[in-house]
Structure 1
Amino acid sequence: MTDHALPDALAEIRDEFLALDEPERLQLLLEFANELPEIPARYADHPELTERVAECQSPVFIVLEVDADRRVAMHATAPAEAPTTRGFASILAQGLTGLTADEALAVPDDFPQTLGLTRVVSPLRISGMTGMLLRAKRQIRSRLV
């Protein structure tokens, strides 16, 4: 199956999850949690520049940048004691960063449901990741005007 809207980085992440049995998918999600890139100091020192993702039970904050070439960079913070949520933030940060704005905006809104995690983590956590994605797209659109 070819996903024309799914950029290579996110397609690779999805395929990596789907190649595993469900218990191993959870382990992979925890590995992503450990790989969440540090938020740049310009945001760490000014949290008011980030947006709280209300759909997440844990305090997750994101900020999206779009440069002059319309390339996206996503930065996120999520507490270490919320590894599932942190893993989702890491997947999106790694998968969206480097895309063009148009590629990022074309990511299907249901991408979180395609990772094969719906039976491994709670629906609330999946909806948190969906909230992150939708807020990321909204921030990208707001930076294009």
Structure 2
Amino acid sequence: MNARTFLKSTALLIALFAILTGCKNSAQRDGASSDSTLSATKELPIEHSYIEVLDDANFEVDFGRAIANGDERFVGVMGYALEIPGVPQFYEKYSKTHFVKVIKGTTDDYEESSSMSRAVFYYEYARGYNKLLLNHLFGSNE
């Protein structure tokens, strides 16, 4: 490797490091947590809580149990921000009257393909669950 290639590679690595560090710091300033469930829990409003969803979970069964126990919270996933799949205009229509339980371990930071497939499963789980909840609460799938 000649000196010119080495300098280009070094400059590219430094630029990449600066960009990644800046993005992480920006997310933390915006109130998002990038590292731990503990700090994410502290930064979410008090009415939000975390739930465990197993890889073979069935949203219909879990929904039935939740309703039987009087739990009428929506299910959310974390990415850059909290998202409530399957609920159009959640923040405009429901955020003041309905709480959210966030699936623990959801994030927009995928290190491997298995993380991505798990994220898709969690998103679809939340979407299906929330559609059932909308129908239960309001008689519609919006």
Question: TM-score scaled to structure 2, two decimals?
Answer: 0.32
Asked which structure has the greater CA Rg, the reply is 2
Greater RCO between the two (CA within 8 Å, min separation 6)? 1
Question: TM-score scaled to structure 1, two decimals?
Answer: 0.32
